[in-house]
Structure formats: C-alpha cells, structure tokens
Structure 1
C-alpha cells in the first residue's frame, strides 16, 4: 500500500482557487501583481460592490460584497476592474483540465473550486506529492494560486482548504478534529450561516466542538434535519461521494438583480421581470430543460424578502410563459412598498426530451408549428442580442453583457464544462 493512503476509506482533495477573478486578471496583466486589486460592478451604480479582491487589497480591509465607495475609502490606491467573465470561464476550463489529468473523479462545484477523489491514484505518489504537483502546475502553467485540502471526505477537505490561504496545502484527519477543528468558532464551519450561528449561539453552541457534542434531538427541533447533519459534519462524518455526474444535475434555474435604486415604479419593475424572464429562458434552452414551477423573489427596501411560487402542469421554458406567471405572482403578492431586488427561478426541472406532454389531439399541429417558429426566433435572438419580431413599443429589456455580474454566473460555467464531458 502506497504511503498516505488508507486501507479502508478515501482520499479527497478540495481545490479552491485563491482570489480567482483577481488572480486571473493578474495572470492576464502581470503589471497588476502586488497591487491592491478589486473586481467590481459599475462604480456609478449602487450594485457596484466588490466581487473579489486581491490579498493586497484584503490587507487594507477590502472585502467581498463591500460597496465600492467604502472600499475606496479604505484603500484609495485600489485598482478596480469590471468582471471579464469570458476570461474567467476560459481559466476555469483549463483549471479543471489539469485536475482531470490526475483522475476521472472530478466534481466541479463552482467556477473556481472542485473535489477530486484520488483514492486509486497511489501510483502517482503520495497525496501530498500529488497535491504539490497540482498546485505547482496551476501556478506555473496558468499563473493561478490555489489552496488544497486533503481529507477522508468532502466536508473535511473543504474545511482544510480554507485553513491556509493563499497557496496552502492542509491535511485534516479525523483523529485531529479535537485539536484542529473543534476549537474554531461555529461560524467558521462550512454550512453555518449568520442565521444558523445565531440559533446555535442561543443554545450555547459557540464552537464547532460544542456542535459536535450537541443533543441531536434538540437541534432537530430547532434546525430540522439540517441540525442532525451539522452534528455529523462537526464529528467529521460525510458519506457523500465525489460525483462527476452531479455537474449534469439541475434542480432549478434562476436569476436575480438589484435595482439601481429602491422603486415602486411598476414600469421599471415589469421591465426587470421581463429581463429576468429572458435570461432564465435562455439558460433553460442552453441546458435543454423545462420546469413546472415559477418562483418569484421580492426583496424590499428594508431587506425583508419574500418568495412565492406557482406550479402548472405543463412544461415551462418560454419567455412569455415565465414572464406571465411571474407577473401574476408579482401582482398578487407585492405590497406596494419600495423594491430593492427581484428574482425569478424555474423549478421542478426535467430534461425537455424526456417530458411527455399530453398534446391535445386537435391542436398538435398548431403546437408543432409554434415550436418551429420559436426555434427560429431563439436563433435570431441569440445571433442579434434581441428579438427582431418584438414590437418596438414593448417594454424595453436591457440585454446582459459579458461584463454584467449576475447571480447565475457561478453556476453557468458548468454549461461549458458539460459540453466537453
């Protein structure tokens, strides 16, 4: 047995790229290296927030999601670039190619991170040797720094990769949990957000060690099944396999966008709903999926957020269907307070080719004709960036550019990955 590999069990890597967008920009333009760099949206708009920043910028207090004006106050010399998503997609593609040279068991989870199961890779060296070699190739060939966590399961590997940044390699074993993991604040645990932390603190659960020893029936009452799962994770238990096929699983497709200013102007709000419907429909087409449920998210000026949904027993994928149901939900549930953000999600997805719609015997020809027309319209819309058949008096719909950060980008990189696998 090669040293470093268990007789029973697995060896899992979690590869997490360091400050990915900023690192890609520095690789593209080396003159940016060593400078405080931030990737942000349009600085003239309220949604101009920090998407990511270099470690030099972070040392000045610049953080992800921070408003750009605040970041500039903390770091006047901050270099700010708009996102270049095509550049990031290309870098991500090359990154996963290097991982796939080690093993077929690669599971991308976002544009800049993924899991590898190297249990059967003993002929390539010890886990540390493989990790060092991968990290150096990412740095030398792509000029991109990374951190790698090595552990017997996905959860511990994820926790390990966060422990040393940038350019860290960390091994986390179950027998070390009481010394390495348990003393950490529970908020540092993957899967524990601000609201969950608050609930745990109310139960006197402050550290991950406290969580590991917590009463599962009590946590089940407070957090449901997720409470039991958190206890298991805190004890280093995670049976999830590294699944390369999970990249093909889509449970929902959605987009959301923050308005430039809080508004009750229904013309602006309807325009945004139309824009979001177009984006969601285009993504559904690319993936080849249809759904049966449309969910609308409304976030008000005071950050109060509601989600409402409607399910219909027919396939939803076209812009007009999504938009019509979203408008119905909006008009039913909007309380007329100023709105900050809107989001539309289509759920209950199945592959279009597997959806057996019961077509009306007397209308199937009309249905097929509509499908053919819609395909032509979709092709022209994709080619020209707008629907040439829409009447000019309709509400105008701004079209996304490669420099507009959206909530869907982190998932949409999977489109490129699946085309090559």
Structure 2
C-alpha cells in the first residue's frame, strides 16, 4: 500500500502520567512529579503488590507496578497510600469532560482510565495547528487537576499510540508520521516492546527468525498468514505503521477476547483451593461472553508461581471442537490444562481467557447432551440475577469457602477499595 493511499488523519493519544500515583499525590497535597509515592492495595499483607508508583519512585528506587510491598525500601521519604478507585474514576471522568470543551465528544475515545484518543482532523478550522491545541489541553489539565500528561500524535490510532509509548512517555510529546516508521519503529526490539505484541506472539515470531519490528515489516506475508491467520497480515501492516481502523474500533480486530487476571491475596498451595479460584474466574469470563452473545473455541489458562518458590509458571491454551460460553465446559478445559502442567509450587497469580470468538448462535445443540439447553438457560438466569442484585446474590458453594475470593471482590472497584 502506497503512503498516499493510507489514512492521513490527526490522531492524538493522551496519557495521564503515573495516573493513580499522581491522583493520590494531588489528594495528599503533594507534587506528583516530586513525591515518593507507592499505591499499595493492602498494606497489612507484605506480599501485596504496588499498583502504581510516582515517577521519582520508579527512577530512584526502582519501585514500579508489580513490586511487592516487602521489596519497598524503608526510606522515610516514601509514602504508602491505599488506592481509592472511586476517586480515581471520578477524576478520569472529569478529565474526559474537560477534553469535551476543546473538541466534540464524538472525537474522543476513552481507551482506559488514564488514556484517551482524540481526533483533531476536523477541528483545525476552529483551533489552528493541533500541536498548539494539545499544549492548551495539557496546560488545562495541569491547571484544573495538577496532573502531568504525555501525548503521542500520528496519522492513525496505531502510530499515535506508538509515538506515546515509545517516545512521548519519556519526553512529554511526540509526533510521528509514516516517514518516521523506518527510523523510529523498525529498530524496536525485542518485539514485545511494540504495542500489540505479547510474549507468546514474540516467541512464535522469534522462531520464524523475526526479532525486530523491521524484520516483521519485511517478512513474507504469506508465511505470517500461514502461522497467525488474519492476525499475520495485521502484524505486517502494523509493523509498517498502517492502521485503517476508525476511532474507537479495536486496534487489532483479531485480538478480541474475554479474560480475567487475578493476583491472589496469599500463596495458594492446595490444589482444591486453586481450582476454586479457577472456577470463579471461569464463571466471570463465561458471564461476560454470554452477555455479549459470544462464544469461544480456544481457552487459555495462565498460572504464576509465588516468588517464595522462585517464580515461574505456565501459560497454555487448548482449542475445542465447538465454541462455548458455558462455565463448566470452560472449567473442564482449564482443569485439564492445570493438571497437565502444574508442578506443585505455591500459586500467586492466575489468568484465564477465551478467544477465537464467534456468535453464540453458532453453538450447536447436540442430541447426546440432553442438558445442554438447560445449562444455557440456567447460565442466563444466573447472569440476570447478578445483574439485578449483584454477584453475591447467587454464587457457587465453593465461593463461600475460605479459598474463594469472588464475594469479597464484589465490594471492590477494579479489584481495589472504593
């Protein structure tokens, strides 16, 4: 595809730098760029993880998201704060409201709590050059909220996001065009440094002799498609800076899935307890898929071992003949994967997802599974009760045991205290 055939819009990706830590600093009356702050979910548990760290904490102490509480130095300048997710969400919504004063709401796509895309293509007549408007927006966020931000700008969503992640988060602002791709994007290595490429995809690409984004940009598309399907072509396009998606659309269509990840409150040793957590997560993931009218053919289970056992873990997936969104069908596959790969170490982290999605209507009613239709109706009924009265209104018995966490987590926002 020639450059003149590609989209030439003006898209910005704006990120609130160290958002949670910065919000916590402002609420405490501190300068977010100067304070030494770590936001920790539960300070009573030494194994609790840091949810966010201020820039100086990252730079001077090496404390960042995922650091354990016991790993934080005992420096008197360090302030440990609890997350207040309700407050963080209110600030995020207020920032979006502020953005709406500069551009129409249809030009704003909220990507996450701390990140938004803005389409400036059609507002130049009102504001002039987008770079100047972006400066005004960043200044307004500082004046109103005291929060620092970083902005990446590009001709599409992908390049705006890459400009943000690979440059603007260090400099505060970066603007990339298609001409910048060879010198700024292609040298990126390892491949997981590029947005949209995870460790598993990186591993598979490395096995094909592809180690940098430049290698990927020059790869044989037919080989990529043979390995990854339509995702292979998308990977090739993205390595060349091409993204034809509209504002608000998924940047990588083939990566849509339903998943859940959980860092456990303590080390789980007993297999029965670990399977309780996995069953609860299967319930949550299946419910999301059912509500969206989707079903998946591939089920992935990831287990991370405790640092007390020197870490490690496994991530494995299995495809099934027929797409499903039934809790117990997903659970049975996860149970198989777990028993095949678990090596007896204490577990501290679990992730689960279903992908290779298709419309729920594709699910067949087998003559050999008499209760299949009943199970689907039962799942929908449970979903309706939870939507109306909350998750704790109806739950599996295992969630009421000491090992279960689902009921306790219903009292949290985003897994953390309100």
Normalised by the length of structure 2, the TM-score is 0.72
Q: 1:345 aligns with which of 328, 338, 353?
A: 353
1:19 aligned residue: 18
Is the CA contact 1:146–1:168 (under 8 Å) kept in the aligned structure 2? yes
Is the CA contact 2:210–2:216 (under 8 Å) kept in the aligned structure 1? no
How far the C-alpha of 1:14 sits from its partner, in A, is 1.4
> Where in structure 2 are the equivalents of 1:6-405 lying within 5 Å?
9-31=8-30, 33=32, 34-45=34-45, 47-60=47-60, 61-72=62-73, 75-100=75-100, 102-103=103-104, 104-124=106-126, 125-162=128-165, 163-165=167-169, 168-176=172-180, 189-191=194-196, 196=202, 211=214, 215-217=218-220, 233=238, 235=240, 237-246=241-250, 251-259=256-264, 263-281=268-286, 283-284=288-289, 287-293=291-297, 294-300=299-305, 302-309=311-318, 311=320, 313=322, 316-317=325-326, 322-323=330-331, 326-327=334-335, 329-331=337-339, 333-340=340-347, 341-349=349-357, 370=378, 374=382, 377-378=385-386, 382=390, 385-387=392-394, 390=397, 397-398=404-405, 399=407, 400=409, 403=412
Is the CA contact 1:138–1:144 (under 8 Å) kept in the aligned structure 2? yes
Q: Structure 2, unaligned stretches of length 5 or more?
A: 1-5
Is the CA contact 2:10–2:154 (under 8 Å) kept in the aligned structure 1? yes
Distance 1:114 1:220, change over 3 A: farther
Is the CA contact 2:162–2:195 (under 8 Å) kept in the aligned structure 1? yes
Q: Give the whole-Å Cα distance in 2 for the aligned partners of 1:16 and 1:338.
A: 38
How far the C-alpha of 1:113 sits from its partner, in A, is 1.6
| Partner deviation per Cα, 1:355-386 (whole Å, 9 max, x = no partner) | 787599x9999789857853664357617x35
1:412 aligned residue: none
Q: Give the whole-Å Cα distance in 1 for the aligned partners of 2:376 and 2:224.
A: 51
How far the C-alpha of 1:227 sits from its partner, in A, is 7.8
2:3 aligned residue: none
Distance 1:359 1:77, change over 3 A: same
How far the C-alpha of 1:115 sits from its partner, in A, is 2.2
Q: Give the whole-Å Cα distance in 2 for the aligned partners of 1:86 and 1:260.
A: 21
| Partner deviation per Cα, 1:221-266 (whole Å, 9 max, x = no partner) | 799567876665555x31333332549x893222233445655412
Is the CA contact 2:217–2:237 (under 8 Å) kept in the aligned structure 1? no
Aligned residues: CA RMSD: 4.7
Q: Structure 1, unaligned stretches of length 5 or more?
A: 1-6, 410-421
Normalised by the length of structure 1, the TM-score is 0.71
How far the C-alpha of 1:12 sits from its partner, in A, is 1.5
How far the C-alpha of 1:109 sits from its partner, in A, is 3.1
Distance 1:205 1:357, change over 3 A: closer
Distance 1:387 1:324, change over 3 A: farther
How far the C-alpha of 1:177 sits from its partner, in A, is 5.2
Is the CA contact 1:15–1:146 (under 8 Å) kept in the aligned structure 2? yes
